[in-house]
A and B are shown apart, each in its own frame.
Chain A
Amino acid sequence: MDRAATLVVLALALAFPLALQETYYLSFASRILVYALAATSLNLILGYGGMISFGHAAFVGTGAYVSSIFIAEGVTSAWIGWPAAVAASALAALAIGAVSLRTRGVYFIMITLAFAQTMFFLVNSMKAYGGDEGLSLPARASGLPVDLGGDVAFYYVALAALGAGVYGLHRLAHSRFGRVIQAIRENEARAEAIGFPVYRYKLACFVLAGAVGGLAGVLLASHGKYVNPNVLHWTQSGTLMVMVILGGVGRLWGGVIGAAALLGLEDLIANHRVEWLASVLPNYQQHASLGVGIVLLAIVLFAPQGIAGAFARRRRA
């Protein structure tokens, strides 16, 4: 996306809460922003680094749980809980990445998945923090210059986080580090032969993505004032992966477009009744994921490059 388009999108996003009457859509938009951040962080390792991680929910979940546990224990300041949560996610990514990155291809996919599942089961058995029923928070974190309790304030915080994330990804992709990462994706043996410490570069990239994923997790738990083990379930990793693939793997806006498209589609089917469809299938809105599944399948079969890819192709033609 070029500069003008970016500015228009940013202006629209900034003006969005002002034009809105209903709080439902404000909350919904915040959810999209948070998922967009999570998907963008996955896109860094998946698209730019070529590491197909099937366990990104582990880092999102770590961020969500650690920040929530701080609040549940009475430490409500965001200045303590949030950095701790992000650091915990980075640490988890360091440990998981250090082992996983020694494997290749399908084995890497499976080992990241296995680690995420391990954490899912561990969180499930944390009886002190709700176990499988999850953890409800009395309030969002405090201490920020704006009162996070308000939906408008939360929206802008999430928007700022996503903006920083996308801008950071943009700068990173054009930095020396980003070039090396992309070179490794294209040809690992060659990058190694040139003399780059491939393993260390990949691990650094993995940890960075884990930390940003952790921040998304913090916002996710804060948004719903609730967290349960399902944020670590493998279908959550799958959903994030689907968002990235849908939006465009290795494209700057891939994660954002994918999150907006997937969540938007779900909402569209579930909350906007189409009369002619309802006359054929009376209860179709209760089965929104059937529609989502069919659309996803159609995209794989007919638009292999994702949504961003389809637009890019048209522009070039």
Chain B
Amino acid sequence: MSWVLILEQFLNGLQFGLMLFLLAAGLTLVFGIMDMINLAHGSLYMLGAFLAAALVQATGSFALGVLLAIPATAAIGMLLEVSVLRTLYTRDHLSQVLATFALILIFNEAVRIVWGPDMPLPMPAALSGPVELLPGMFYPAYRLLIIGVGAAVAVLLYLLVARTRIGMLVRAGASNREMALAMGVDVRRLFTLLFGVGAALCAVAGALLGPLLAVQVGMGENILILAFVVIVIGGIGSIRGALVGAVLVGLVDTIGRAFLPLLFGLFFQPRVASAAGPAIASVLAYLLMVVVLYFRPRGLFPARG
């Protein structure tokens, strides 16, 4: 096992983690400020990927298609917030689960009706080859692009939340919604905006991951649960927690998948190792969450004091 392989898997984990962060960032703010469980967040990710695929097909340009899909998904997200989700904030968690579960069904079928069960989203040809990062180490250019975009968005989001007036209002809302309301913050309008930003981040993640994973109905459901794991690990309502949690989950998941079967091969018979390795690797993220919750029941960076 060479260091090149380890570095490569590390970059893969970072890339997956950054994409998870894009999903988790919106989710954690929705969760933190409005105490709302939004299962339909994964549907926006799916919608973003399908819109990107359709627009890339229509325009013939990857960059243009993706850039158009982002505002389109944001608009749909804000529309969803104003029309349905807004009435759910004051309801209990069970109603929110039921309503957003219903939204998943509706989005899945609507996408199936409009575009069918799946769509091709090819990688841009210019980026499909590898680049030589270090002497003797090649890495797919497209994955580097994802890492770059993910890191850039993370920095932008951090500046937005930590350095701007809107970000200050968001943080105030997350740490104590009633107090923020009492101080005259228009949480309703702030929240519609926030939801739009969350949807846009979903679209970025969906469009960028589309060429690597498949663009298909139901793609949002499994990654949604991982995003929930991320925000619970990080502490609900905390952007910093979401970033740390996402990178942690991305690394643990990817590196576990790559190396656990090898590691098990050292100790067990090949038949056992090839069966148990992938099985344990796929649940590592969940085990990580259980361990974190056991020692820090409110996550690593709790937003509420």
List residues of A whose CB falls within 8 A of some B CB. Answer: 46, 52, 54, 99, 102-104, 106-107, 109-111, 113-115, 117-118, 121-122, 124-128, 234-235, 238, 241-242, 245-246, 249, 287, 289-290, 292-294, 296-297, 299-301, 304
Contact = CB atoms under 8 A, between A and B. Distances in A.
B98 A296 contact: yes
B279 interface: yes
A112 B39 CA distance: 16
A300 B97 CA distance: 10
B283 A117 contact: yes
Interface string B224-237: 01001100100010
Interface in B276-293: 276, 278-279, 282-283, 286-287, 289-290, 293
A125 B102 contact: no
A174 to B, nearest CB: 24
Q: Which residue among B84, B236, B293, B294 has the maximum number of chain A CB atoms within 10 Å of its CB?
A: B293
A113 B286 CA distance: 9
Interface string B107-132: 01110110000000000000000000
Contact of B282 (A125, A246, A304): A125
28 contacts: A106-B31, A106-B232, A107-B297, A114-B289, A115-B286, A115-B290, A122-B279, A125-B275, A125-B276, A126-B279, A234-B225, A235-B221, A238-B39, A241-B97, A241-B101, A242-B97, A287-B113, A289-B105, A289-B108, A289-B109, A290-B109, A290-B110, A293-B103, A293-B105, A297-B99, A300-B91, A300-B99, A300-B102
B290 A99 contact: yes
Contact of A238 (B101, B232, B294): B101
A278 to B, nearest CB: 15
Contact of B297 (A103, A128, A238, A241): A103
A128 B232 CA distance: 34
B106 interface: yes
A64 to B, nearest CB: 19
For the residues of B in contact with A, the DSSP-based class is helix
Contacts of A249: 94
B286 A118 contact: yes
Given A106-B236, A127-B275, A234-B225, A293 B98 contact: no
Contacts of A296: 98-99, 101-102, 105
A114 B290 contact: yes
Nearest to A233: B221
Nearest to B96: A300
Nearest to B112: A287
A148 B105 CA distance: 35
Interface residues of B, number: 45
Interface in B200-255: 221, 225, 228-229, 232, 236
Contacts, number: 124
Contacts of A54: 97
Nearest to A239: B101
Contacts of A235: 221
A301 B99 contact: yes
The 5 closest A-B pairs by CB, nearest first: A293-B105, A290-B109, A125-B279, A296-B102, A293-B106
Contacts of B188: none
A300 B95 contact: yes
A66 B92 CA distance: 35
Contacts of B113: 287, 290
A126 B225 CA distance: 22
A304 to B, nearest CB: 6
Given A52-B93, A293-B109, A301 B293 contact: no
Contacts of B52: none
Given A117-B283, A128-B275, 14 more contacts: A110-B229, A111-B293, A114-B290, A118-B286, A125-B278, A242-B98, A290-B109, A292-B102, A293-B103, A293-B105, A297-B99, A299-B98, A300-B91, A301-B87
B293 A297 contact: no
Given A107-B232, A111-B293, A287 B109 contact: yes
B37 interface: yes
Given A118-B286, A301-B99, A290 B275 contact: no
A293 B113 CA distance: 14
Contact of A111 (B35, B94, B99, B290): B290
Nearest to B279: A125
B225 A297 contact: no
A109 B298 CA distance: 13
A99 B294 contact: yes
A238 B105 CA distance: 11
Given A107-B232, A107-B297, A241 B94 contact: yes
Contacts of A106: 31, 35, 37, 93, 232, 236
B104 interface: yes
Contacts of B287: 118
B113 to A, nearest CB: 6
Contact of A246 (B37, B98, B232, B278): B98
Contacts of B37: 106, 109
B189 to A, nearest CB: 22
Interface in B257-286: 275-276, 278-279, 282-283, 286
B279 A107 contact: no
A301 B283 CA distance: 36
B298 A107 contact: yes
A3 to B, nearest CB: 29
A52 B109 contact: no
Contacts of B106: 290, 293-294, 297
Contacts of A241: 94, 97-98, 101
